[in-house]
Amino acid sequence: MKFLDQAKIYIRSGNGGAGSVSFRREKFIPNGGPDGGDGGKGGDVWVESADGLNTLIDFRYQQHFKAATGNHGQGRQMHGAKGEDVVLRVPVGTQVLDEDKETVLVDLDEPGMKVKLLSGGNGGWGNTRFKGPVNQAPRHANPGQEGQERWIWLRLKLIADIGLAGLPNAGKSTFLSAVSAARPKVADYPFTTLTPNLGMVDLSPSERFVIADIPGLIEGASEGAGLGTRFLGHVERSASLIHLIDGTQDDVVEAYRIIRGELEAYGEGLADKVEILALNKIDALTPEAREEKAAELEAVAGRRPYLVSGVSGEGVTELLRAAWAEVKKTRGEVSDEGEHVIPETPGGWQP
Ligand SMILES: Nc1nc2c(ncn2[C@@H]2O[C@H](COP(=O)(O)OP(=O)(O)OP(=O)(O)O)[C@@H](O)[C@H]2O)c(=O)[nH]1
Ligand SMILES: [Mg+2]
């Protein structure tokens, strides 16, 4: 199974600017001759792979991209300026496909690649160009060439940054729909989710990451019980896991132990990943029950769980902030920040 982020967009390069019909008119220079300049070339459409992007979400808000028309030529042999280009900035790993959604036009598999998708139309010739021995005062110029247009698909294979682990009914799918635009099925029976769902969390334009909601695990899942553990493969490459525990169940510690046991049995380093622990459904708990269950979890896990509710939204932002901090670490952005060390001048600063 593949997780895909994709968008269909319309691109159009700019028309060329028209050439100009103009004659030199100056005092004391009769019959100055043609001096109409050429039109400018229309803008091109480019696609560029940019660092720091990980979704095609921007292309859901805007689907039409048109480069500018070249400026028209003018008298005194002034050529029109080139129309402005359009540059589509996409994450590394994006493929550009033809409208048929099969033919790969460009594969942007490395950062910093820039490929021209459509060329702008050429500018039309001004009447200066048509001057010849016979016709010394041509009265025509060319219009600019039309730009090109086409529909294309952008396609990106997503990798989940954060996996959601938990027993069936822990509220994973509810949580995913609370924090992203994904709308997985939610119901009050176990194994509602049968295949993984992905959602994009958008804390801010520069803070986006992908969360995967996977089917619930039960005791013995690593031996095939329930839906088994094969879906854990989708979160093997995640930065960390959010472990959701249903706060309305009697024994939260047992729930915690079962999931930990299954993660360990699965292997592949899942049990060693940073685990962000969260007591969920706190909207349904009294303040005392929240405290009691949080304390029980803290005793077994060695750290205090986040207190959240996917239904009321309480505590969700703090949890997402913690998740984002982990994602950032694996994307290698934190290490850069830590390096702004001002070297010490021996003997202190001297004027
Ligand atoms: N009170 C309360 N109920 C919740 C909350 N989150 C989920 N629920 C309820 O718990 C039940 C299970 O929710 P789901 O989101 O489907 O749980 P899941 O973990 O995705 O379950 P599976 O897909 O079966 O593994 C549903 O009846 C939800 O309405 C919450 O924050 N508070
Ligand atoms: Mg579910």
Residues 207 and 287 in one domain: yes
Mean pLDDT of 226-253: 89
CA-to-CA distance for 82 and 121, rounded, in angstroms? 10
Domain with residue 300: its CATH number is 3.40.50.300
What is the predicted pLDDT for the residue at 4? 59
For the segment 192-204, the average pLDDT, to the nearest whole number, is 86
pLDDT at 249: 95
Is 105 inside any structural domain? yes
Residue nearest to atom 2 of ligand 1 (CA): 281
Distance in Å, CA 269 to ligand 1 centroid: 27
The pocket around ligand 1, CB under 6 angstroms, is made up of 166, 168-174, 186-188, 190-193, 215-216, 280-281, 283-284, 309-311
pLDDT at residue 40 greater than cutoff 50: yes
Q: Which atom of ligand 1 is nearest to the CA of 284?
A: 1
Q: Which residues have a Cβ under 8 Å from the Cβ of 273 and sit 6 or more positions away? A: 238, 239, 240, 241
Point out the domain boundary residue: 116, 131, 154: 154
Q: Which of 3-12, 107-116, 206-215, 308-317 has the highest mean pLDDT?
A: 308-317
**Together in a domain, 168 and 138:** no
- Do residues 44 and 130 both lie within one domain? yes
- The pLDDT, as a whole number, for residue 3 is 55
Tokens representing residue 333 in the block: 């952005």
Domain boundary among 154, 172, 198: 154
Give yes or no: residues 216 and 233 share one domain. yes
Q: What is the mean pLDDT of residues 88-92?
A: 91
On whether residue 271 sits in a domain, the answer given is yes
- DSSP for 293-350, written as a single string: HHHHHHHHHSSPPEE--TTT-TTHHHHHHHHHHHHHHHTTHHHHHTT-PPPPPTTS--
Residue at 179 is within a domain: yes
Residue 351, domain member (yes or no): no
Taking the C-alpha atoms of residue 300 and residue 295, their distance in angstroms, rounded to an integer, is 9
Is 319's pLDDT higher than 90?
Answer: yes
Q: What are phi and psi of 92, to 5 degrees?
A: -60, 140
Residue 171 resides in a domain: yes
Is residue 119's pLDDT more than 90? Answer: yes
Same domain, 180 and 273: yes
Q: Do 174 and 323 reside in the same domain of the chain?
A: yes
Compute the residue count for the chain: 351
- Both 303 and 207 in a single domain? yes
**97 belongs to a structural domain:** yes
CA of 168 to the centre of ligand 1 (A): 8
Residue type at 332 in one-letter notation: G
CA of residue 247 to ligand 1 center, whole Å: 11
Residue 336 pLDDT exceeds 90:
no
Residue that terminates a domain, selected from 132, 154, 176 = 154
Average pLDDT over residues 192-220: 87
pLDDT at 170: 96
Summarize pLDDT for 127-153 with one digit per residue, the tens.
Answer: 999 998 988 889 999 999 999 999 999
- Segment 254-298, tens digit of pLDDT: 999 999 999 999 988 889 999 999 999 999 999 999 999 999 999
Say whether both 165 and 143 belong to one domain.
no
Residue 35 annotated as binding site: no
Range with the poorest average pLDDT among 17-21, 210-214, 327-331, 347-351: 347-351
Same domain, 107 and 210: no
What is the pLDDT, as a whole number, of residue 335? Answer: 39
Q: What does the pLDDT read at residue 1?
A: 34
How confident is the model over 149-169, as a mean pLDDT? Answer: 90
> Is the pLDDT confidence value at 351 over 90?
no
Domain count, the chain: 2
Assess whether pLDDT exceeds 50 at residue 346: no
Ligand nearest to the CA of 190: 1
| Å from CA of 113 to ligand 2 middle | 39
Q: Indicate if 8 and 41 belong to the same structural domain.
A: yes
Sequence-ordered alpha helix ranges (H) in the chain: 58-61, 172-179, 252-266, 287-301, 316-330, 333-337
**SS3 call for 59:** helix
Q: What is the Cα–Cα distance from 258 to 226, expressed in whole angstroms? A: 13
Asked which of 185-194, 243-252, 307-316 is least confident by mean pLDDT, the reply is 185-194
CA atoms of 186 and 189, how far apart (whole Å): 9
Percentage of the residues of the chain whose pLDDT score is greater than 90: 61
Position 165 scores a pLDDT of 94
CA distance linking residue 114 with residue 71, whole number of Å: 25
- Please state the pTM of the whole predicted model: 0.65
Do 205 and 90 lie in a common domain? no
User: Do 166 and 147 fall into the same domain?
Assistant: no
* Residue span of the structural domain in which 250 resides: 160-329
**Does 282 belong to an annotated binding site?**
yes
Residue 93 pLDDT greater than 90, yes or no: no
- d(CA 312, CA 188) in angstroms, rounded, equals 17
Average the pLDDT over 322-329 and give the result.
93
What mean pLDDT do residues 51-73 have? Answer: 87
Task: Please determine, for residue 316, whether its predicted confidence score (pLDDT) is greater than 80.
Answer: yes
